[in-house]
Structure 1
Amino acid sequence: MNKKIAVIGGGIVGATASYYLARSGQSVSVFDSGTGQATAAAAGIICPWLSRRRNKKWYRLVSEGAAFYDKLLADLASDGFKTDAYARCGALILGQTPDYLQEVHDRALERREQAPLIGDVAILKGSELKQAFPPLTNAEQALYVGGGARVDGRELTKTLLQAASHFGATIHNETISLAKDNDGNLSVLTPDGPPQRLDAVILAAGAWLPQLLQPLGYTVDVRGQKGQLVVLHQDEDSDPQTYPVIMPQGEIDLLPFGNGKTAIGASHENDKGYDLEPDASVTDPMLEQACTWLPHLKETAAADIRVGTRAYTSDFSPCFGGVPGLQNCFAASGLGSSGLTSGPLIGYLLAELAQGKESSLPIEDYPAAAYIKLTARQN
């Protein structure tokens, strides 16, 4: 049965949900204000298997999220939408000590038994490392993980929303609010039109979920974290080859996209929250650090500084599922810096839930109700 479904938020979660809902024949309206979206400011490395985090539920989510990209890209391609925003190009992990690289190497081999997508794992030295990434300097050895990938969040969501539109979804660049009746049914309120009654609503507003639900009497355990990313573009004669992404120890990652495009970042600024202004006192040191590994970047001017706001819960756990007290309303938030890894899978699962289907992951492991509390009556 065709359902009228609104998706609030056009980032990686909302765009994926919209694509799969529209593809399934649902009547989809996407609403996004275009302000501060984490995905639009993000370029990420998809290589979750090396994490030291002990949270097994989180690891399962990001590991399956990395694997979900195969389905997502295959579905887009079958619908005539190919994208180079994603590439499985391999990853190089740089370490200060041989012991550190050996520890990560052994962890990767152990986890490869359950996650074969990890691919080849090897510690590269000397000429092997030079062959893998000729411009790289000041690195005597690195761990290579063949399954590592990179993705440009802005470009991927653009493709997903184009595909959703192809299947009939409508995209609205505007700020909305929500209203509910006594039975917990939601309506979307736009600045110019009448309230829209819906069969289901997906709230994929990321760090803005608290502001969206607060007028309805909810307290949401989500905070914003500022992230800044620098994108460099060299001249048109730059090397078109896509090299592995680089993961040094420390705050920043380096993502070569080929044809002279390199992304550097991103910052993690808890004290700045929802501030969206570029800050050279943060981005300049990021560039300086990147140049210690890739000196040729010194001659490249910053073409784009992207600023967005990530969403974190107080215990750093992502959540998704039904919103307590609201009928046929589903939400996701708290994805943090792993949003590009887990976001497409979560978007797909929310689309399934909105259609009355079951989630392939146990949603009780990521309960939205643990972070979204109805604490006051709506006026």
Structure 2
Amino acid sequence: MAKEIAVVGAGIVGATASYYLARAGYQVTIFDEGIGQATAAAAGIICPWLSRRRNKKWYRLVSEGAAFYRQLMSDLDSDGFPTDAYKQCGTIILGNKPGYIQEVHDRAVERRKAAPMIGTIKILAGEELKGIIPPLVPMDNALFVGGGARVDGQALTQVLLQAALSFDGCIHNEHITLSKNKEAFSVNTLNGAVSFDAVILAVGAWLPQALEPLGYTVDVRGQKGQLLVLQTDSPDAKDYPVVMPQGEIDLLPFEGGRVIVGASHENDKGYDLEPDPSILTPMLGQAIALIPSLKNADLADVRVGTRAYTSDFSPFFGTVPGLEQCYTASGLGSSGLTSGPLIGYSLAQMIQSKQTSLDEADYSTNHYITQTP
């Protein structure tokens, strides 16, 4: 049985895996360079049931990922850690095309049969919508989904890492490389090469760079994501549902009057981490068009991160081909905060030789990681 585990990358996948492995009694060492992490820059809407995507394997992953949050929050709470980074506050879907809201409503009703977590589904209009989110501009109709939730990725990963450390895990903020000499597989740190019983590579969009020295090519590319953190003087904002208009932006309310606007999806600027006003300014304008009072909010922060995408936009996880002691996950894309905790938990289960709730063959690394001749 593996006892000493290295987790490379402290985003949502790595942090969750670290927490559950350390909780199970493994000696966990976390390495994170702290550059470009998608989770640290992300705030997510956990409401996957409304997607039009027809990829059944992807839908199962995100649907079960949304449901897994209940277990994750229960486990953190039982271990004495805060859970307010996540809140099941409901989701409001806005539409500007005729028939769109009814279409989404019907899809949600059908999917609720297999996913009761969806909860209340109701079309709202006029004063009824205004009563739920008073500052929202008048809308003819919208859809409320009671099971929708929001999560602050940065806050959640910090809690997960604190929990892992409380179970005697440790973290090193440094860049590492991997090397293989015949059968010896090593993690090269500032203090030299170190061997572990198992390694989890949870480095997201940087997986190609991490595996290239070992002779692998990886079907993963980076996608830039930017968001705005606005500080309002409305303490009631934390009780509002998240808002999903048609288009690029979403609006996520948090404690203390914070409202997060975002995030962008920039395929042509994958690893660029500089804030771009040409993207951020229109995003702010769209937010103000929906909630005019946001024009008086202060810009508290701008977050920029790099998501990982595969050529078919599907995530994967499992062992690296030819390296049984090396586990990985990548390609989560913009649904990373929905599926990431479940994937991290699944990797922890695999290391413990336990059954996962997902069919691992559906998300096999073999389709995306290739050994070069």
Which TM-score applies when normalising by structure 2? 0.98
Q: Structure 1, residues 162-211: CA drift from partner, whole Å, max 9, x if none?
A: 0000001101110000012322x4211012x1211110011100000000
Which residue matches 2:215?
Answer: 217
Task: Decide whether the 8 Å contact of 1:86 with 1:156 is kept in 2.
Answer: yes
Which residue matches 2:225?
Answer: 227
Report 1:46-125 matches (<5 A): 46-125=46-125
1:202 aligns with 2:200: yes
Report 1:250-269 matches (<5 A): 250-269=247-266
Task: Decide whether the 8 Å contact of 2:126 with 2:138 is kept in 1.
Answer: no
Which residue matches 1:307?
Answer: 304
Specify every segment of 5 or more residues in structure 1 that has no aligned partner in the other structure, as ranges: none
Which whole-Å CA distance do the structure 2 matches of 1:318 and 1:168 have between them? 30
Q: Structure 1, residues 192-246: CA drift from partner, whole Å, max 9, x if none?
A: x1211110011100000000000111000000000001001124x6335420000
Which whole-Å CA distance do the structure 2 matches of 1:44 and 1:20 have between them? 22
Q: How many residues align?
A: 373
Task: Decide whether the 8 Å contact of 1:2 with 1:25 is kept in 2.
Answer: no
Task: Decide whether the 8 Å contact of 1:232 with 1:303 is kept in 2.
Answer: yes
Which residue matches 1:351?
Answer: 348
Letter in 1 for 2:320: V
TM-superposed deviation, 1:103: 0.5
Task: Decide whether the 8 Å contact of 2:239 with 2:253 is kept in 1.
Answer: yes
Which TM-score applies when normalising by structure 1? 0.96
Which whole-Å CA distance do the structure 1 matches of 2:319 and 2:20 have between them? 18
Task: Decide whether the 8 Å contact of 1:180 with 1:216 is kept in 2.
Answer: yes
| 3-state SS in 2 of match to 1:347 | helix
TM-superposed deviation, 1:128: 1.0
Task: Decide whether the 8 Å contact of 1:18 with 1:30 is kept in 2.
Answer: yes
Which residue matches 1:145?
Answer: 145
Task: Decide whether the 8 Å contact of 2:2 with 2:351 is kept in 1.
Answer: no
Task: Decide whether the 8 Å contact of 2:130 with 2:138 is kept in 1.
Answer: no
What is the percent sequence identity of the aligned residues? 67
Which residue matches 2:337?
Answer: 340
Task: Decide whether the 8 Å contact of 1:2 with 1:27 is kept in 2.
Answer: no
Report 1:276-315 matches (<5 A): 276-315=273-312
Letter in 2 for 1:188: V
Q: Structure 1, residues 279-310: CA drift from partner, whole Å, max 9, x if none?
A: 11100100000001111110112110000000
Q: Structure 1, residues 9-33: CA drift from partner, whole Å, max 9, x if none?
A: 0000000000000000000000110
1:186 aligns with 2:185: yes
Task: Decide whether the 8 Å contact of 1:124 with 1:142 is kept in 2.
Answer: yes
After superposition, the Cα gap between the structure-2 partners of 1:271 and 1:240, relative to the gap in structure 1 and judged at 3 Å, is closer
Task: Decide whether the 8 Å contact of 2:223 with 2:265 is kept in 1.
Answer: yes
360, 365, 369: which is aligned to 1:368? 365
Specify every segment of 5 or more residues in structure 2 that has no aligned partner in the other structure, as ranges: none
TM-superposed deviation, 1:83: 2.2
Which whole-Å CA distance do the structure 1 matches of 2:238 and 2:217 have between them? 48
304, 314, 317: which is aligned to 2:314? 317
Q: Structure 1, residues 101-130: CA drift from partner, whole Å, max 9, x if none?
A: 000000000000000000000000112111
Which residue matches 1:166?
Answer: 166
